[in-house]
Chain A
Amino acid sequence: MKTMRLPVLVALLVFVTACVTINVYFPAAAAQEAADRIINRVYGTEGEGEKPAEPAAQPSQQPQSRTSSAVTLALVGTLNWLITPAEAAAPNIDIKSPAIQSITAGMEARHSSLAAYYANGAIGMTGDGLIVARDLNAIPLRDRSKVQQLIADENKDRAALYNEIALANGHPEWGKDIRATFARRWVANAPAGWWYQDAAGGWKQK
């Protein structure tokens, strides 16, 4: 009987140790770099303290295609197909999907209407990566309704953006981490004088 028990115990032990939670690694550094790229595009500060966005397309030295004349043997001239060979997918956060591009373009266009209100404290950045009207009295009466609409639109786009980045990278569950990354980077990339919410929910001026 004792000899029977040992394998059972071993099996149990194996079973127990096999119950390991699978941790999906969230590429925090890559996410931050991706967030900075998008944020700088939205803020219109591309190229400021930012790494080159993408490696420039390198013309391939090798002919990729050619036209040949089989009968005459005379060379027509090699037609170089210079289409950039696709780069191997690097382990980073992909932000090139049309959905992300489209949302980012919309936010970039909107930013010029909002920038003045970030600067005068009418709009503040919240701790969850959105924006909020923190002082309506700092917005001219005529624009008060419109700016609130822009804020609502911006927040809709931001929520969609975080979601789309997670989706485009095949990890819908990253949405929360991406949002948290953006929440930090919106503030970090903002010019001095803009208002943001600290961890306790209080307002601070950068």
Chain B
Amino acid sequence: MTIHYTSLCRATLFLIAQLVCASSYALESIEIALGDLQGDGWLARSVTLQIQLLPGTEHAGAITLESITLPKPIGRVDDVRIQCDQLTHSEAGTACTGRLKIAHLLGEPISGRVMVQHDSASNQVQLKLNDVGLAGGVWQIKGRSQAQGWNLDLAAQQVSGESLVGLLRRLGYVVEQQVSAQLNLTATLQGAADGVDAVRFQVLGEQLNYANSVGTQASENLNLELRGQVQRKAATWHAEVDAVFGAGALFIDPMYFEFAKASPAHLNVKGDWNAGTQQLHLQSMSLEHAGVARAQGELLMNLAQPNPLQRVTVEILDAQLPTAFDTYIQPWIRGQLGDALKTAGRFTGRYSYQAGADSAVHVALDKVDIDDPQQRFGFENLSGVIDWSSDATPRVSELGWQSGSLYRLALGPTQLAVKSQGTDFELREPVMVPLLDGKLMIDDLALSNPGEEDMRWRFDGVLTPVSMEAVCEALGWPAFGGQLSGMIPAVRYADKRLEIGGVLLVKAFDGALTVRNLRLEEPFGRVPRLNADLELDNLDLEALTKTFSFGKIQGRLGGYVKQLQMQAWQPVAFDARFATPEDDDSRHRISQKAVDNLSSIGGGVGGALSRSFLGVFEEFPYDRLGLSCRLKNGVCAMGGVAPVANGYYIVKGRFLPPRIDVVGYADQVDWHTLIDRLKSVTLEQGPVIK
């Protein structure tokens, strides 16, 4: 027997109605084997109907199916039994209340309470399934179908995320993610014959663990509350979704979030999606991330365009540091200068972008501290406004800080105004930056393409005298007197190379040290390279040796370090010579300790001099002293003030007794060994020279 009906439900109800009508013939029980039933897209095998007729309008009955094959994705359902404990039929309609039991639906056994009702007047079919076990949870399902359309209410408790994903996979959906979670969900769906028109949903997910196959999106023990509604009008879907992240961790490459009860994140999005034009318009997005940031924005995208982003605006109402930097900024500047900054303070801002037009940034800093862990730079109490746009209109940003540092040199309070036009930035007027106890007058400072490969900048300034004591203290050097000053008229940075024109002048030890042709490559890179020429003029050796506790030497010293090349702040090549100036007529004396130290540096036996009878002399006169070293490939080609057989004079004594000469014979000396010896001498007796 084969009957064609549009739905199994209607077939059942029709049969029940016919049989209940037959009750007037006083039948007590009836069982009908309907055989196979077939409808549009479905096939039921071995359908059996059982009716028990009781007095009055209430009866009982059951319908069993060996199997029913439904359209994909559900497929074959085995061993279905609907037991109607109460079966009513009247003019108004037919109803069945009882139990549903399915041995095999999408790989799971299903059972629960069932209520099916047909209202004759409205031709409305209502279905209720209660306490149905599915995907590890308990479901309450209520559906209603009538001429105008249908609706479906779903409520489920303690659904297992894993089982739900399994169910979806069996339904034929491709779900590559690994998911485990405890879910409570409610949903209301409305629709008509052509599909779903509106959905309202609420999902409470606990202990949500999720990961995509490549690991770029994942969550750990996430508590998520998702509420929202989606409505369709013609081809446009309108959605409003509210998400609260209450606990756990979330990773969306490259960003990582940790949520706690005290610091939840609340995201609200309202928008439209038009499947026809492929346009996504999020009219409003708002984020409240407790203790981190508050922001809102708007987004327009067209996925049909090669460059989908059409328009975006983001308004940062409040961002708290360091959390906002660590969470939202740091992941995006990974590997760049400043990616490990320690920050404090707050800021607000606004960013806008329009495809084919301009983008603009406006940021207001409120007492922001930034600190580079590598101590290259830092600012405290940075406040002001950054105003920038990609358009041609010049903008002015104003910034100020209470204190700061550049390579550990302290900077004082400064206010500056920067003019910008596109990616070109320029100081609006000269600025005076207090530097240690002196001042750095910046006459001109300009920057192009910051952060790009072809970043360029230039700087013109004057350094008014800074005491060397302060410089030494800041840089951790042995303290010595004197002053640092200089005209720095042309500092240029281009092609990752910093060139300093002009002359840096260090006035110290009653003499002068000048630095010329200073060039620095990749100053912020892993291996900064420095080139320079240094000249020493008329230094007072007594002050110098006193500072480095070397043993007293009286006299003057001049010399040079030409073509100095440093890598990672280590010298690799230079041509250096330090010696008593030719025309020096000052008093020349060298102490016993200095002679000993000069010997010790060379690895000689310290104190040899004092153990001899010459030990009675505290100091010796000398004619000239000096050393030269030409460093190349880690080897220092040594020389002194004058040649002697097979060697050179390091100290050439006066003719009159007590005469002492220090003669060097090693002409090729390993640079590292020389440095180690120098360190050990100064380590024993005074500050370490680094």
Contacts and interface: CB of A to CB of B under 8 A. Distances in A.
Interface in B661-686: 661-666, 668-670, 673-674, 677
B598 to A, nearest CB: 8
A160 B527 contact: yes
Nearest to B527: A99
Contacts of A87: 670
Given A65-B663, A136-B215, A149 B567 contact: no
A142 B220 CA distance: 10
A63 to B, nearest CB: 7
Chain A interface residue number, banded: 35 or more
Contacts of A138: 215
B634 A85 contact: no
B659 A71 contact: yes
Contacts of B595: 67
Q: Which of A57, A67, A69, A97 has the most CB of B within 10 A?
A: A67
Contacts, number: 178
A145 B608 contact: no
Contacts of B430: none
Q: Which of A69, A97, A135, A139 gathers the greatest number of chain B CB atoms within 10 Å?
A: A69
B93 interface: no
Contacts of A120: none
A86 interface: yes
A96 interface: yes
A96 B614 contact: no
Contacts of A75: 612
A164 interface: yes
Contact of B665 (A63, A106, A160): A63
Interface stretch (A42-50, A150-158, A180-188, A190-198): A150-158
Given A106-B526, A141-B218, A149-B334, A83 B339 contact: no
B658 to A, nearest CB: 7
Interface stretch (B247-255, B407-415, B579-587): B247-255
B26 interface: no
B167 interface: no
Given A81-B666, A86-B635, A142-B256, A67 B609 contact: yes
Contacts of A76: 608-609, 612, 614, 660
B267 interface: no
Given A83-B602, A141-B249, A66 B663 contact: yes
Interface of A: 57, 59, 63-72, 74-77, 79-87, 89, 94, 96-99, 101-103, 106, 135-139, 141-142, 144-145, 148-149, 152-153, 156-157, 160, 164
18 contacts: A65-B666, A68-B660, A76-B660, A77-B608, A79-B604, A80-B605, A81-B599, A81-B666, A98-B569, A98-B570, A101-B570, A106-B526, A137-B211, A139-B215, A141-B220, A144-B215, A145-B253, A164-B527
Given A67-B662, A69-B660, A144-B256, 18 more contacts: A57-B670, A64-B602, A65-B663, A68-B661, A72-B657, A74-B613, A79-B602, A81-B604, A83-B677, A86-B636, A86-B668, A98-B567, A99-B567, A102-B570, A136-B214, A141-B256, A142-B256, A157-B526
List 8 tightest A-B contacts by C-beta distance, closest first.
A136-B215, A82-B603, A98-B570, A79-B604, A81-B602, A102-B568, A64-B666, A86-B635
